[in-house]
Amino acid sequence: MLEDAHFALAGRAVQLIDWDRNHRFCGRCATPTVTRAAERARECPACGLSSYPRIAPAVMALVRRGHKLLLARGPHFPPGMYSALAGFAEPGESLEQCLAREVAEEVGVQVSQIRYFASQPWPFPNSLMVAFHCEWAGGEIRPQDGEIESAGWFDVSQLPTLPSRISIARRLIDSAVSELRGPLE
């Protein structure tokens, strides 16, 4: 319901309050931490451990196959809504490796021609969503139990209900549709 600028400001506030609340005590020795004056950090006066706000990078992948887009719905989505695939990066993994792994895990297909689209801070939970376009390279759709309720190829002229325009998922989908047939109404 918020404009993009207000959503971004509110999201940043939520992330910083959550970080501050969760780092009141040192993770190493349990001493109460203090706020550093010169930077956004909490420091332990006993052992010197510093804590900074953490960001959890996540990728969003919109897979294209000709004039069709691979969209999926999670069990927590509103009824009838589909979106691009997404997942969190794991330690030691590039964003491109994460994208290929997540798509393979969630729907069983392989991708190629991964192209960066844009990024968006997302406060739930402290994420930085990094969106990519990619092309289908093989495999048949097999939705991952418990993670993906339904997935399918949708022609750009017959798309299901999509996420809100405030989300990077929607902007990613709109850009693919615009490239293939013109802007969404």
Asked whether 15 and 124 are in contact (CB, 8 A), the reply is no
Asked whether 41 and 67 are in contact (CB, 8 A), the reply is no
Q: What is each CA distance from 63 to 57, 153, 162, in whole angstroms?
A: 19, 9, 15
Return the pLDDT at 4: 65
Asked whether 61 and 132 are in contact (CB, 8 A), the reply is yes
pLDDT for residue 182 is more than 60:
no
Model-level pTM?
Answer: 0.84
Q: pLDDT tens digits for 100-123?
A: 999 999 999 999 999 999 999 887
Binned at pLDDT 50, 70 and 90, residue 10 comes out as confident
25 secondary structure, DSSP code: B
Return the pLDDT at 166: 86
Q: Which residue has the higher pLDDT, 154 or 6?
A: 154
**Alpha helices (H) along the chain:** 4-22, 95-107, 168-181
pLDDT for residue 1 is more than 60:
no
